[in-house]
Amino acid sequence: MNMATIALHDLMFYAHHGCFEEERLIGTRFKVDVEMTTDGCPAALTDRLEDAIDYSRVYELISGEMGIPSYLLEHVAGRILQRLTDFFSLTECRVTVSKIAPSLGGEAGRASVTLTRKDIEHD
């Protein structure tokens, strides 16, 4: 079976996620990476947008979830993953949410959480 993997990297957002009140009040920068796998890829043959995943719609869905403040990156990543798998027909999905320069008591470039579809599936 043919499969296609669509990846969007370095989607940047300013959001209000974090365990500390000042993080939620002031906000900080976040980066999101997503990989989505679908069965087949009709757009490879048709060159028609309606046969493909619309990247701008992916960004819009992620942006909506990034706009909802959360304490934990795990929760943000889980919501994004759920939203994408609910909206698109995906066989697999991988979401990484990174907080740029997190408050860790020392200098840090970023903190990241990665979840896949199996991480949010329930028994």
pLDDT tens-digit series, residues 96-110: 999 998 877 788 899
Q: pTM higher than 0.85 for the full model?
A: yes
What distance, in Å, lies between the first and last C-alpha atoms of the chain?
Answer: 27
Whether residue 13 is predicted with pLDDT greater than 90 in this model: the reply is: yes
Average pLDDT over residues 55-63: 97
DSSP string spanning 21-69? HHHHHH-EEEEEEEEEEEE--THHHH--GGGS--HHHHHHHHHHHHTS-
Confidence of residue 64 (pLDDT cuts 50, 70, 90): very high
CA dihedral 87, 45, 7, 11 (to 10 degrees): -80
Mean pLDDT of the chain: 91
Averaged pLDDT for residues 45-73: 94
Look at residue 1 in the predicted model and tell me its pLDDT.
53
Task: Evaluate if residue 84 carries a pLDDT over 80.
Answer: yes
pLDDT at 29 over 90: yes
